[in-house]
Amino acid sequence: MISSSPAPETGPLTCPSCAWPAPTVVSAHGSARYLRCVCGRWLIEHAGVLVAVAGGSAFDTVAGRR
């Protein structure tokens, strides 16, 4: 039996750290977009799907991390 992953969520991109609904596009190359959220997190979107998150967030709870 072959199982499939659920379809990626579509719609407006939101930050997974703070749920901000409209991160700012900083750069775009083909179908890849690099966005910066107000909390400081970098988001990488490819073909409309969030594929990676990098950097610290203003909401990080680990002492000394930003």
pTM for the model: 0.66
Average pLDDT, the chain: 78
Contact 34, 44 (CB under 8 A): yes
Annotate 6-54 with three-state secondary structure: CCCCCCCCCCCCCCCCCCEEEEEECCEEEEECCCCCEEEEECCEEEEEE
Per the model's pLDDT, the better-predicted residue between 65 and 15 turns out to be 15
Is the predicted pLDDT of residue 60 greater than 60, yes or no?
yes
